[in-house]
Structure formats: C-alpha cells, structure tokens
Amino acid sequence: MQFLGFRVLFKRIKAIRFMMADKSVRWTKKAIIVAGIAYLFLPIDLIPPVLFPFGILDDIVVWALILWYLRSELDKYWIGEKPKDYSRKFRGKNVVDDVEYDVDDGEQETETEKEKAEENA
C-alpha cells in the first residue's frame, strides 16, 4: 500500500475517527492520536510558528510520522477489512418477529426426486 499521495493521506485522516470509536483498538494507539492532536494545539513546538513556512513544517512532519506508524491499523477502516460486530447489539433479542416458518430437515423428497429415483431403479 502506498504511503504518499493526497488521496491516501486524506482517507487515512478520515479513518482516524472510526479507529478511535472502535473499542478493540489498543489504548496506546489511541493515545498516539490524542498526543498528535495535543501537539497541534499546544503553543510549544520544535520550530516556533513565527517562522511561517517552517513553523507549520514540524506539525506536518509529526502527523506524517503518526500516519505512517498507524498506517496498517488505519487502512483496516477505509479498506473495509474490519467487519462490524452486531453480537452485543442483538444479544438476547428476537431479530425476526411475526414470521411463520417451517424448518425442512431434508428428509422429504420432492416429486422430481421421486421420479428420478423410480427411473434409476
């Protein structure tokens, strides 16, 4: 999977929201995202923002490193590898209501199967 490319970077940035909402992701990976957001808004930077073109550069480099480090985890959310688990939502509930159905155990033969059996005999 390629790392550079605006489309890939924007999709990975959008995937951060879904990764943060997933409870199966380790807290350390979520802490890296929170630390990156805090670094953007805190006044302490490696290069002061007064030096305009270079002041933003350190923020971009930090977020590029975060996105590179979490690339495999973020790719699960925008590629669609992570299936949604509905087991907790529907535990103990009747999913199908007011429906009458019969369970076919496979012992009954249809008319065509009976005719084929008679022809072969």
Question: What is the domain partition of the chain in residue ranges?
Answer: 6-79
Nearest of 33, 117, 105, 21 to residue 69 by alpha carbon: 33
Tens of pLDDT, residue by residue over 88-118, are 777 777 666 677 777 766 665 566 666 776 7
Q: Is the pLDDT of residue 26 over 70?
A: yes
**pLDDT reported for residue 62:** 85
Q: Give the pTM.
A: 0.54
For residue 47, which of 62, 58, 38 has the smallest C-alpha distance?
58
pLDDT in tens, 33-51: 999 888 888 877 777 777 7
